[in-house]
Amino acid sequence: MPDSIDEDFVAQYVRDGFAVLRGALTRAEVAEVNSEALRICRAGLNPSDEATDAHPGQSDADVLRQYLCIHHPHKISEVARQIMRHPRIVDGLTRVIGPNVKAMQSMLFIKSEGKPGQAWHQDEHFIPTRDRSLAGVWIALDDATTENGCLWVLPGSHARGVLYPDREQTDERFDCTDEAFGFPYTDDDAVPVEVPAGAALFFNGYLLHRSLENSGKHGYRRALVNHYMSAESLLPWQNSEGRYFAEYDFRDIVMVAGEDPYAYKGLRDLSVPGSRADKSGGCDR
């Protein structure tokens, strides 16, 4: 049975920095997202042309193995955009963020066997909100286990509201992202979040988390990750040149609940869909 978004759910999110909502998506919805992911990959991230096949002669499995992460799939997929606004997801967001919620990013991870994870990091380090309201929603599209690279979290690491420094890392278990360091926790404090397909992990933007490589001999660990925040806060994220300015308000957003206090500013189309490979294939950020 699906978890309820109740006082216990909210209390765990506040205390530990994360909470799991099982059954956030139905089996049919999970299958639809996975089918859409294959369509996007087959089309080379240009699914507007149904006849396009950027990988002719390759099996579906071989096509998917070429991708580790697709950035901003909601820009090119109505399915991904609908999941961003899914009623059960929005219900949880309004309980942990507030009545007015906007989204600014989506990521579709397709981690096949042997693909790396991501080192310890805090999402608020990369998406700096003014009011610390950033929340990630990590939706499992396969059963996520320690063998295939589920998320690991450091419970309570969000509570201090501290953004820890980061540095480059060369650990082959992780892709090209930097790693956070200097925090008062060890790997022994980490907890794996093993969840079935369709479950959604809600987590605070200050929570330290990571994932390890998919060490399974077959299969995927796919996940759709969306990021949200309070619509009341400005978002000093990337401008059109990819630079960060404290006075800047990123307006390439999707309202998912309530009202937008800054609607008078209008919206801008700034984020460009793209893909990331692992270290062996190069990557960008």
> Which amino acid, 36?
E
**Distance between CA atoms of 208 and 154, rounded to whole angstroms?**
6
Q: How confident is the model at residue 141 (pLDDT cuts 50, 70, 90)?
A: very high
According to CATH, the topology of domain 7-47+54-281 is Jelly Rolls (2.60.120)
**Distance between CA atoms of 154 and 190, rounded to whole angstroms?**
5
**DSSP string over 83-111:** HHT-HHHHHHHHHHT-S-EEEEEEEEEEE
Domain boundaries, the chain: 7-47+54-281
> Which amino acid, 32?
E
**DSSP string over 5-27:** -SHHHHHHHHHHSEEEETTSS-H
Q: How many CB atoms lie within 10 A of CB 91?
A: 15
Burial category of 160 from C-beta neighbours within 10 Å (exposed 0-12, middle 13-18, buried 19 and up): exposed
Res 280: pLDDT? 42
pLDDT, tens digit, 9 for 90 and up, residues 151-199: 999 999 999 999 999 998 888 888 877 899 999 999 999 999 999 999 9
**Distance between CA atoms of 200 and 22, rounded to whole angstroms?**
6
Res 50: pLDDT? 59
| For range 60-74, the mean pLDDT | 93
Res 159: pLDDT? 97
Q: How many CB atoms lie within 10 A of CB 175?
A: 24
Query: Residue 74 carries which DSSP code?
Result: G
pLDDT at 1 over 60: no
pLDDT, tens digit, 9 for 90 and up, residues 84-111: 999 999 999 999 999 999 999 999 999 9
Q: Are strands 69-71 and 220-230 parallel, antiparallel or unpaired?
A: unpaired
Res 281: pLDDT? 40
Q: Which two tokens stand for residue 49?
A: 């042309």
pLDDT at 136 over 80: yes
Res 278: pLDDT? 45
**DSSP string over 229-285:** EETTS----B-TTS-B-TT------EEEES--TTGGG--------EEE--GGG----
Instruction: Determine what percent of the chain is predicted with pLDDT higher than 70.
Output: 93
pLDDT at 68 over 60: yes
Res 45: pLDDT? 86
Per-chain mean pLDDT for the chain: 91
Q: Are strands 135-140 and 209-211 parallel, antiparallel or unpaired?
A: unpaired
Range with lowest mean pLDDT among 55-64, 119-128, 225-234, 238-247: 238-247
pLDDT, tens digit, 9 for 90 and up, residues 265-282: 999 999 999 987 644 443
More confident position, 170 or 242: 170
Q: Which neighbouring-strand residues pair with 210?
A: 152
Res 277: pLDDT? 61
pLDDT at 65 over 50: yes
pLDDT, tens digit, 9 for 90 and up, residues 186-227: 999 999 999 999 999 999 999 999 999 999 776 899 999 999
**Distance between CA atoms of 75 and 82, rounded to whole angstroms?**
11
